[in-house]
Structure 1
Amino acid sequence: MQIDLQGHLALITGGSGQLGRVMCRTLAECGANVAVHYHRDESSAQAVVDAARQLGVQAMKVQADVTQAADVERMRSEVQDELGAPDILVNNAVIQYAWTTVLEQPLADYESQFRSTVLHNVLMAQTFVPAMIERRWGRFIGINTECAMQAAPSQSAYVAGKRGMDGVLRVLAREIGEHQITVNQVAPGWMISQDHPDSEAADPYKAGVPLRRRGTDQDIANLVAYLASDLANFISGQYISVSGGNVMPTI
């Protein structure tokens, strides 16, 4: 059994980043054409595009601020003109900021997290889902986080945004399911990536993980590829943790 995404087009927001670049490569390895979104790092996005093309698929980079409706609309037009209408969306981009306590966290950080998690997903849905409805096939995948379940000190703005995102995507799954579009969330733990290698500093974290280790960015990309495929055509409305059991969604 293999994951075959030939004939599909995936748009990955934050596609030039630490997790995004591996998602793009993995989806391309499965045969999907890819549109690599970036906000500021054009050179990294071009490197991801070049790697995807070497795998024999079509690829392009596209710039946008995913918190702005006009930018998302422009992104749709540019992707449509070059590659067509995406039927796989992976919403991975998020604004980075310095974490501190609720009492000290600037209000602007709560606003930025709301815009880059909740509004990001709302804008992507409003802009790209109508074409999926016409096709009667689509995959809408949001990248959440284990932090949404941990609610640890200093995480308040991030957790608030991701929990808001969770609510939007659960509602969206109910609203568009009849059109054979699935909506799911992948929730990484503290993963090893090119930008975040493993180290002794992570030992206390790993001690609390049932598998006693950190996962990799490839573990995230593998689940994204599965959820994007027909193998997962009856899975929707799910928040799936990829954390080695560090967090366990309850029933």
Structure 2
Amino acid sequence: MKRALVTGGSGGIGAAISRRLAADGYHVYIHANQGIASAQQLATEICVAGGSAEALQFDVTDSVAVTAELAPLVENEPIQILVNNAGIHDDAVFPGMRPDQWHRVIDVSVHGFFNVTQPLMMPMIRSRWGRIVNVSSIAAITGNRGQTNYSAAKGALNAATKSLSLEIASRGITVNAVAPGIIDTAMSESAFDAKAIANIVPMKRAGTPTEVADLVSFLVSDQATYITGQIISINGGMI
């Protein structure tokens, strides 16, 4: 049974991805930091339904803690599927943005990507099979007012996706990013009402976490062997 790690796996999109990968037959490590109780509950639900999952807790910005947690897991066999979904918003117009707002958002998305992905690389490379999916955002492509920090973080993630994909393509490992638009989660509910969504999205609705999970499921499957280095938008036609 291949093993998968989903960072930020207790949130709306992360939980949907965790459920889908478990349904696809993978053992899923559901990562959380603050939301570890939700991750543990989700792992229990997956196991009760016949899947295989367990929760992991660490701060993706703490490289020492990440390595301490992940190194023992890949000592004897690789984690071959990684979904870097952890990310945070801390929105403010740029002239009024505090330094901590900038650094924290960058830390989670960019430094978190490095801290989690790097310890898993050599075991994955030795296995000559792997799938890395980074969860980006439409904000990285179009920009968004009040999200210069978030756009910068996800834009860096897109660039890292392309560069890493070139380094390891010959090893049977693909690296792609998915860039959601407005997805129906608790995070988006506070930012967009139904009227705003109808004005912004050509499909006149928000996407669902399940639809994002379906895309991730495809990208980690054997059907996506020849797809790598791509930033794939899922946004109802916004761009």
TM-score > 0.5, shorter chain as reference: yes
* Percent sequence identity over aligned pairs: 31
**Cα RMSD over matched residues?**
2.0
Do the aligned partners of 1:34 and 1:52 also contact (CA within 8 Å) in 2? no
Compared CA separation, residues 200 and 38, structure 1 to 2 (3 A): closer
**Counterparts of 1:9 and 1:211, CA distance in 2:** 35
CA deviations on 1:165-186 (whole Å, 9 max, x unpaired) are 1111111010111101000001
**Counterparts of 1:26 and 1:121, CA distance in 2:** 22
Structure 2 residue runs of 5 or longer lacking an equivalent are: none
Q: Which has the higher helix share?
A: 2
1:150 lines up with 2:142 in the alignment: yes
**Counterparts of 1:198 and 1:113, CA distance in 2:** 19
TM-score, normalisation: structure 2: 0.93
- The one-letter amino acid paired with 1:33 is H
**Counterparts of 1:183 and 1:200, CA distance in 2:** 31
Do the aligned partners of 2:31 and 2:56 also contact (CA within 8 Å) in 1? yes
Q: 1:88 aligns with which of 81, 85, 88?
A: 81
Structure 1 range deviating more: 65-74 or 133-142: 65-74
**Counterparts of 2:40 and 2:150, CA distance in 1:** 29
Question: Partner of 2:105 in structure 1?
Answer: 113
Q: CA deviation at 1:78?
A: 5.0
**Counterparts of 1:134 and 1:176, CA distance in 2:** 11
The 3-state SS of whatever aligns with 2:237 is: coil
1:66 lines up with 2:81 in the alignment: no
Instruction: For 1:1-251, list aligned pairs within 5 A.
Output: 7-80=1-74, 84-97=77-90, 99-193=91-185, 201-247=193-239
CA deviations on 1:89-145 (whole Å, 9 max, x unpaired) are 000111332x11110011112111221111111222211011110000000110000
Do the aligned partners of 1:25 and 1:51 also contact (CA within 8 Å) in 2? no
Structure 1 residue runs of 5 or longer lacking an equivalent are: 1-6
TM-score, normalisation: structure 1: 0.89
Question: Partner of 1:3 in structure 2?
Answer: none
